[in-house]
Amino acid sequence: MEELKELRSDGSDPLFDKTNMLYKEFPSDFRQIRYFTLLIVQSAPLEIKEINLLEQQISEVIKNAVKHGNNCDINKKVHVWYSFSPSHAHIIVEDEGEGFKDLEKWNEFNRKRIDCLHNSNFEELTNYVSFRTKKSDDQDGGNALFAA
- Determine the Cα–Cα distance for residues 29 and 81; give it in Å rounded to an integer: 18
Query: Tens of pLDDT along the chain (148 residues)?
Result: 667 777 777 778 888 899 999 999 999 999 999 999 999 999 999 888 776 689 999 999 999 999 989 999 999 999 999 999 999 999 999 999 887 778 888 889 989 999 998 999 999 988 888 887 777 766 655 444 444 3
The CATH architecture assigned to 18-94 reads 2-Layer Sandwich (3.30)
pTM above 0.85, yes or no: no
**DSSP codes joined into one string, 32-48:** GHHHHHHHHHTTS-HHH
Could you tell me the residue ranges of all domains in the chain?
18-94, 100-148
Cβ neighbours of residue 143 closer than 8 Å, sequence gap 6 or more: 68, 100, 102, 106, 131, 132, 133, 136
Q: What is the CA radius of gyration of the chain?
A: 16
